[in-house]
Structure 1
Amino acid sequence: MNTDSKNYLLICEIGPIYDFVRQSRKTVDFWGASFLFSYVMSEVARDITNNGGTLFLPYLDNNPMYRRNGTIACGSVPDQIYATFTDSQRSAIENGLKTIIEEIVKTIALKVGKLAEQKGKAGVFDHGELKDFFHFFYTIHEIKDAQPTFEEFLEAERKIRIRSALRPFRQITGNNSIAKWEKCSLCGDRKRIYSKVVDKDAGLYNEEHICSVCLLKRFLPEAVTFIFSGTKAEFKKPRYRSSSDIAFSPIKACIDTADDEMKQAYKAFIRECEQISEEKDSEGRFFYDPNLRKKFTAWKKSLTEKYQDKIKLPWLDRPFYSIISMDGDNMGNNLKENWENRQDVSRIISDFSNDVDDIVSKNHGQLIFAGGEDISFVIHPEYLLGCIGELNNLYNGYFLKNDLTKPMAEKFTLSAGVVVCYHKYPLSQAILSACGMLRKAKKFRGKNATAISLIKGHTETFNFAFSNKLIGDLKRLKELLLSADISRTTPYRIKESEEVLKAITDVRHKENYLYTIIAGTRGVDKTNAEIMEIVGLLMKFEGIDAMINALLYARFLAGDK
């Protein structure tokens, strides 16, 4: 028997991504965690191809991280890689997979360790801890021909899913348990090897402690230049280091267009804050810090007086940020129906992911991950809806331009899970909630939806899901609320009339009754064009609760505290 005639499908997967990404305190941690896993998988893909394998999915020939050529803005290689090979390549590929993860992590840890020594009190990396943390799985499935059928593909996926039943852990005894004050501030599971003062007035909590594993993501942005040195790749550093910087972004955009006097005064305040604060690279932290913000009081008043027409100024005293998790809809069915054209579909998705950063950056956001149709980014609520709308149009537009996928282009859509919260709200909890909201968006009728959780306080939260086709209407509703004289009690008045509104079946009569409710809160007794338009927009949101939530969220965007 000729063993060279055997063909195989290889599936590689890495973890634990979700826990590692979620255990973040700063935006830069979030970015670094995603980048680390993505970089590891790009190197795995390179090793497979170097040993004779052929990448099956995803399409990476135009991926800057994999090719080491082009602009690298964030992690862009997914946590799963599919490849094909024959018996003649099997031994080399398997041997490479057994050692590559440990080699990559050691290289990164060496550079990160040197950076940590320059920044704070750093100990020695626990390489055993690093080795145990990363879970790398792969399965090899024999296939009939050089390329798998869809059924063979599904059977191989069923094999790799067995890994979800595994629960690796390190046994901790009374002799090596970790004291509470020695634990990592990010994960709370491992012993610190690095400490730095973050708030000199915080008493016992004035230092941040980081373990060997979490230190990788904290300093990875600074180590990336070293990792890609000698290649044709250009690295784009993360734009923001903390959620406070994101909350500050609309004000910063206003400052960038202000006159020289305002700019110079602002720069002087920043230099003064840098001398006082332990944080040296977060302008948003300076601006919203209770001990520092008094310095900006007179300057803020002057900014408001000079630029009253700037709609971004209502955010001066409302420091919010948002986290977005987006994913392609119906990808399993779409892939099945386009199995013969899977490479074209994968190539289109890869082209799309390469363009995501331009849109997110244009909207003053920070891209965290863009691997295929899986996207994560952080952005200010002011720019949120516009950015989601642009990304959806870009994604769908790529499939419309391709002759093979054009007939089914309407099936290729994105859904988004969003959390909008105060800048001091725990980033780890916001990441967790954004993933939950994405699941809600996926359950929305017809998908192609956005689900938003607005967290205005510790107890004041409401969830709101709507079709992405209504993004433009929601933005217009916000604009109308900025100019129309609508009472804050309007949503509650609509809720009080819920049973009546449900009982009215004639659309025209329902519109008239809704107009009466909205106009009545301000005593408007004649036709008002703005209120009529508001009624028309609200009627597009199905159900009374959806109308109320649309109105509440638009009011929030318009400046309602």
Structure 2
Amino acid sequence: MSESKKSYIGLTIGPIIETISNAKETGELWASSYLFSYIMKNIIGKLLEQDNKLKDKFIVPYVYNEKIFKFPQEVGLFHDRFIFESKDGDFDLVKKSVEQVKGDIINEIQKYEKNSPYEIIEENIDDFLKIYYLEVELDIYNKKDDNNIIFKVNKCLDALELREKLLNGKGMKNNYLLDTLNNKNLKEESFKKHFLSKDAYGEKGKDEEYPCLFKIALGKTYKKDFPNDDDEIKNRLKSDIEAGLQKELIKANEYIAFVQVDGDFMGKVIQGFEINENKEDIYEDYKDFSKKLLEYSKDSNEIIKKYGGFTVYAGGDDLLFIAPIINEKCKVKFQNKNFDNNIFGVIDCLSKVFEDKFQNEKFKEKPSTSFGVAMVHYKFPLYYALDEARELLFSKAKSYRFKNKEKDAIAFKVIKSSGQSFETVVGKSSKSYEEFKALFNSVNRNVDKTKETRNYLKAIHFKLVRDKVILNEIGKDKDLLKNYFDNNFNEKIHKTESIKIYIENLISFIHEIYDEMKDEAKKDECINQIYSYLRFIRFMDEDIKLDDETKKEKGERNE
């Protein structure tokens, strides 16, 4: 092999999406995701045990931080792929490491399946786990984009995954490994001894059960003295409300956000990486990139946890978490900057962390993050919410265009318990997004809300839709908008401080929506977007009755 040519081994594991889609409760969801991070971590760990010099050859992920191998991390931080520069014999080392990890997992499964022979479990696991690896030779000093190490190896792994999917569709049913991840095993006391629990939380395992969705929606995720059963939670809330320890609940307290996050323009970032011939470490760009991804994953998990959210996985630029819509008891903060204590504040905070990590003048395109947010009732099936969040991210947020900017967006959708839904997409850098958040805060932070106030908000929303022809004509003129509101909303209630603030924010919000619209033929889309935003704000602020959900759902159907 010439000096300019080097070999690289890439490995990919799965099936991740299919596995987490089988989860029915949060514990199963966490375990289904953590399993693959566990496998990746241990394959890499065994490789380094056999040849520690490989540490210097890893391109992705970042393996210099020994703490991620030795100490519990609670969430999966390892992505589903690795790439390293290889030499003769390394391919066999990978094969040996993979077999060792599979053997360790089979031994763990036998603790639950005592009557099942090792060979039967092994055959079953081989049908289920998709662990593929290959070796690629590259001319590393060739400046062509298709010779970028990460691009080239990932392209080969993509082709290998696709071929294997077509050849093998077995493994998802009657699977020993999935059985060890079911809720029965994850809820019993024995879960503290479960191999995933001990790996994530230390030898003593996790102290308590995984939080149910209702508990997360209320922002009580990590309150050990708070119930973790829907009926017990309702009884506790009723008694706390009667005792004056808990204020009346609103819709936002029983709805929960499933959030899927992905980095934008990461391919263009990687495209700018070069082999540094004159430096001691020729892979400096690649390793620095991998290190930043690891730091982002760890920082993100801490932010989500402090907000009362629940991280499912945090691997590379990919995040999946579940969080309350509003959590008044927490602070969302990064580097002395405070963010709103609601789901949009968390999104802004995570975006800031990512942008700070990847501020680099060498990047051809400044990377950003896009979010798919499915807001569902806590009784909705997990798989439904996960599919919605994924669809919102990749089909809506990733397709967003605003002026000369692409992506960097939030696609969110509210799916009511009745099955009705409404959604919109917003650019994170748009002024209308800032005005929307101000409007949302002016409602959910208003401590003097009365039935009359809420009825007013409902009435104004419907009036705006009725007057869409007028708004289409005056929307870009802030003075005319102000005159419209002065003439149409001039009763006594409109003079109260909270309503005045709301109207001021609403005028600014409507103006920005129309001002950002460049195609006059799309004016009707503006009012539809305005209505989606206002519908979200009003819906999340509605009162709920814990003991009359049937009546509530009928009311939603009639809305």
TM-score normalised over the length of structure 1:
0.74
1:353 to 297, 301, 310: 297
Q: 1:464 to 1:284 in 2, by over 3 A?
A: farther
Is 1:430 equivalent to 2:390 in the alignment? Answer: no
Report matched runs for 1:473-484 at 5 Å: 473-482=435-444, 483=446
Contact 2:198 2:206 in 1 (8 A): no
The alpha carbon displacement at 1:525 in A equals: 8.2
Is 1:75 equivalent to 2:30 in the alignment? Answer: no
The alignment-based identity, stated in percent, is: 18
Is 1:130 equivalent to 2:125 in the alignment? Answer: yes
Secondary structure of 2:308's partner?
coil
Contact 1:246 1:284 in 2 (8 A): no
C-alpha distance in structure 1 between counterparts of 2:195 and 2:397, whole Å: 34
Paired amino acid for 2:230 = R
Report matched runs for 1:211-230 at 5 Å: 212-216=177-181, 218=183, 219=185, 222=192, 223-224=194-195, 227-228=198-199
Report matched runs for 1:37-76 at 5 Å: 37-52=36-51, 53=54, 54-62=57-65, 64-65=67-68, 67-69=69-71, 71-76=72-77
Is 1:287 equivalent to 2:284 in the alignment? Answer: no
1:377 to 307, 321, 333: 321
Secondary structure of 1:12's partner?
strand
Q: 1:48 to 1:20 in 2, by over 3 A?
A: same
Paired amino acid for 1:552 = R
Contact 1:49 1:55 in 2 (8 A): no
Q: 1:213 to 1:496 in 2, by over 3 A?
A: same
The alpha carbon displacement at 1:233 in A equals: 9.1
Q: Answer with 53-62 or 26-35: which moved more.
A: 53-62
Q: 1:38 to 1:171 in 2, by over 3 A?
A: closer
Residues matched between the structures, number? 476
C-alpha distance in structure 2 between counterparts of 1:233 and 1:338, whole Å: 40
1:325 to 243, 260, 273: 260
Paired amino acid for 2:99 = T
Aligned to 1:16: 15
Q: 1:349 to 1:448 in 2, by over 3 A?
A: same
Secondary structure of 1:376's partner?
strand
Is 1:455 equivalent to 2:415 in the alignment? Answer: yes
C-alpha distance in structure 2 between counterparts of 1:436 and 1:389, whole Å: 21
Paired amino acid for 2:271 = K
C-alpha distance in structure 2 between counterparts of 1:238 and 1:418, whole Å: 27
C-alpha distance in structure 1 between counterparts of 2:3 and 2:180, whole Å: 45
C-alpha distance in structure 1 between counterparts of 2:459 and 2:490, whole Å: 11
Once the two structures are superposed, what CA deviation does each residue of 1:56-105 show, in whole Å capped at 9, x if it has no partner?
A: 1122322744x223x41201100111111122x33532532562452242
Q: 1:337 to 1:430 in 2, by over 3 A?
A: same
C-alpha distance in structure 2 between counterparts of 1:517 and 1:51, whole Å: 78
Secondary structure of 1:391's partner?
helix
Aligned to 2:334: none
Q: 1:520 to 1:245 in 2, by over 3 A?
A: same
2:466 to 477, 482, 496: 496
Paired amino acid for 2:125 = L
Q: 1:390 to 1:235 in 2, by over 3 A?
A: farther
2:503 to 512, 528, 531: 531
C-alpha distance in structure 2 between counterparts of 1:75 and 1:135, whole Å: 18
Q: 1:232 to 1:476 in 2, by over 3 A?
A: same
Q: Any gaps of 5 or more consecutive residues in structure 2? A: 276-284, 327-341, 517-525, 545-559
Contact 1:491 1:551 in 2 (8 A): yes
C-alpha distance in structure 1 between counterparts of 2:397 and 2:375, whole Å: 15
Q: 1:96 to 1:225 in 2, by over 3 A?
A: closer
C-alpha distance in structure 1 between counterparts of 2:392 and 2:218, whole Å: 24
Secondary structure of 2:458's partner?
coil
Q: 1:503 to 1:367 in 2, by over 3 A?
A: same
TM-score normalised over the length of structure 2:
0.74
Is 1:548 equivalent to 2:513 in the alignment? Answer: no
Is 1:464 equivalent to 2:424 in the alignment? Answer: yes
Contact 1:60 1:350 in 2 (8 A): no
Contact 1:27 1:243 in 2 (8 A): yes
